[in-house]
Amino acid sequence: MSAPRLEIDLDKVQHNARTLVDQLSLRGISVTGVTKAALGSAELARALLRGGVKRLGDSRIENIEGLRRARVPASMSLIRTPMLSQVERVVEHADTSFNTELDVLCALSSAAKRAGVTHGVVLMVELGDLREGILPGDLETTVRETLRLPNLRLRGIGTNLACRSGVVPGPENMAELSALADSIEATFGVELEIVSGGNSANLPWALSSASSGRINDLRLGEALLLGREPLLRQALEGLHTDAITLCAEVIEAKLKPSLPRGKLAQSAFGEVPAAVDRGPVWQTILSLGRQDTDPEGLYPPHGLEVLGASSDHLFMDPGACRLPVGAEVRFQLNYSALLRAMTSPFVTKVVRAAGEPGAGASPPVVPQVGAARASKGIRPVR
């Protein structure tokens, strides 16, 4: 089997989805399964739907178009504000889009009228994270103008936190969003179908709060795929953190000094590495680099340590484990590492389909020593 590669266990993804869907449903919250980190994988999207997610969301219209071509049976939302240059494609392929700009809303209205369809919109509100959103004081004006536009249907409002600035979703900002929903309905006599509180970072609040207020939707990606919440990257109880793993192959293994020799300047990536004398190190190099993933987002097996990375090489100290050339090391990933690995053309994507041998099992995450072997029950992702 080719390396580097991502191995995706659909049974574990489905389990994560079902667990969170069931827990959140007790609080009146449904789940939008976000597919952007999986590059719009149709097989993974179907696993999320089998796990009970209500709708699918993606930030790229290209991924939504791919899901449509694959005939994935789901309502789909474009969760990034549409580009003016893509409004025709948005109204054709997305049932709903998340919006912040009146110019874009007007263009969507015109495109939907030409296409003879009604397009759903969710208005995003800025509640402190400074990513995207309408300021709360401007929301009423934007709602009024949106309701005047033909061929658009205001489906709800939403917000996004803990993304750009790391603002924690909690009782105060979720109560503010709920109050805005109540105010809009009272002022305009409309019913908001969706009040989308945010992303996986909302889970600590949602799963511990006595009341979710008006929040009835969360857009989940990281928690479903990686089993962790984004605030502290802690594992969520009952979820698999190894539903997706990254495998890389050893291409060099040599005993080398831990201190570089010669005058030091910036590395290829503008860094001046801290030089620490650890004595001779059995340095292991893997065929995986910054062009393939985010090295800082890799979780190696116990006893192994990532020392650094170049464009094409990952440098490791294997500790007491001596990994020969041809051995494989299996990593768990954080969201940044997954996103970059999934979009790299040099990382093979393979999927273990539901019901195939080994699917859903939880083997220990340890390096595979010896020549790389094809894993049973996995095939290229579509």
Q: What is the pLDDT of residues 239-249, one digit of tens each?
A: 999 999 999 99
pLDDT digits over 107-143, tens only?
999 999 999 999 999 999 999 999 999 999 999 999 9
d(CA 94, CA 102): 18
Residue with tokens 């079902």: 18
d(CA 37, CA 16): 16
d(CA 268, CA 63): 33
Kindly indicate the confidence band of residue 377, based on its pLDDT and cuts at 50, 70 and 90.
Answer: very low
Kindly indicate the confidence band of residue 378, based on its pLDDT and cuts at 50, 70 and 90.
Answer: very low
Backbone angles phi, psi at 344, to 5 degrees: -80, 130
Q: Give CA separation, 229 vs 27, 68, 243, 255, in Å.
A: 18, 29, 15, 38
pLDDT(358) > 60: no
Q: Which two tokens stand for residue 8?
A: 């995706």
pLDDT(189) > 50: yes
Instruction: Identify the pLDDT of residue 371.
Output: 30
How far is Cα of residue 264 from the mean position of the Cα atoms in its chain?
37
Kindly indicate the confidence band of residue 269, based on its pLDDT and cuts at 50, 70 and 90.
Answer: confident
Q: Is 52 helix (H, G, I), strand (E, B) or coil?
A: coil
Instruction: Identify the pLDDT of residue 376.
Output: 29
Kindly indicate the confidence band of residue 76, based on its pLDDT and cuts at 50, 70 and 90.
Answer: very high
- Residue 147, number of CB atoms within 10 A of its CB: 14
CATH class label, 10-226: alpha beta
- Where are any strands of DSSP class E within the chain? 5-9, 30-34, 55-58, 76-78, 96-99, 119-125, 152-159, 194-196, 217-220, 244-256, 281-286, 298-299, 305-309, 314-317, 328-333, 348-352, 378-380
Instruction: Identify the pLDDT of residue 23.
Output: 98
Mean pLDDT of the chain: 91
Kindly indicate the confidence band of residue 75, based on its pLDDT and cuts at 50, 70 and 90.
Answer: very high
- Residue 140, number of CB atoms within 10 A of its CB: 15
120, 57 in Cβ contact below 8 A?
no
Average pLDDT over residues 135-152: 98
To the nearest whole percent, how much of the chain has pLDDT over 70? 92
DSSP code of residue 227: S
Backbone angles phi, psi at 34, to 5 degrees: -95, 125
Instruction: Identify the pLDDT of residue 49.
Output: 98
Q: Which residue has the higher pLDDT, 254 or 277?
A: 254
pLDDT digits over 17-60, tens only?
999 999 999 999 999 999 999 999 999 999 999 999 999 999 99
Torsion of Cα atoms, 66 then 71 then 76 then 81, to 10°: 20
DSSP code of residue 126: -
Instruction: Identify the pLDDT of residue 356.
Output: 61
What's the pTM?
0.90
In the set 12, 36, 256, 349, the catalytic residue is 36
DSSP characters for 186-224? Answer: HHH----SEEE--SGGGHHHHHH-S--TT--EEEESHHH
The yes-or-no answer on residue 36 being catalytic is yes
d(CA 67, CA 305): 38
Kindly indicate the confidence band of residue 191, based on its pLDDT and cuts at 50, 70 and 90.
Answer: very high
Q: Is 35 helix (H, G, I), strand (E, B) or coil?
A: coil
Which range among 99-103, 127-131, 282-286, 369-373 shows the weakest confidence by mean pLDDT? 369-373
pLDDT digits over 272-298, tens only?
777 777 888 889 999 999 999 999 999
Instruction: Identify the pLDDT of residue 375.
Output: 30
Query: Interior CA angle at 83 toward 188 and 343, to 5°?
Result: 125
Kindly indicate the confidence band of residue 373, based on its pLDDT and cuts at 50, 70 and 90.
Answer: very low
203, 211 in Cβ contact below 8 A?
no
Instruction: Identify the pLDDT of residue 374.
Output: 30
Range of 262-266, 323-327, 363-367 with top mean pLDDT: 323-327
247, 268 in Cβ contact below 8 A?
no
pLDDT(370) > 50: no
CATH number of 244-264+276-380, picked from 2.40.37, 1.10.287, 1.10.10, 2.40.160: 2.40.37
Residue with tokens 């509640």: 127
d(CA 5, CA 263): 37
Instruction: Identify the pLDDT of residue 354.
Output: 61
160, 123 in Cβ contact below 8 A?
no
Q: What are the residue ranges spanned by the domains of the chain?
A: 10-226, 244-264+276-380
pLDDT(263) > 90: no
d(CA 297, CA 314): 12
How far is Cα of residue 358 from the mean position of the Cα atoms in its chain?
25
Task: Please choose, from the candidates 363, 374, 366, 259, the residue with its C-alpha nearest in 3D space to the C-alpha of residue 321.
Answer: 366
To the nearest whole percent, how much of the chain has pLDDT over 90? 83
Q: Which two tokens stand for residue 217?
A: 């939707």
pLDDT(102) > 60: yes
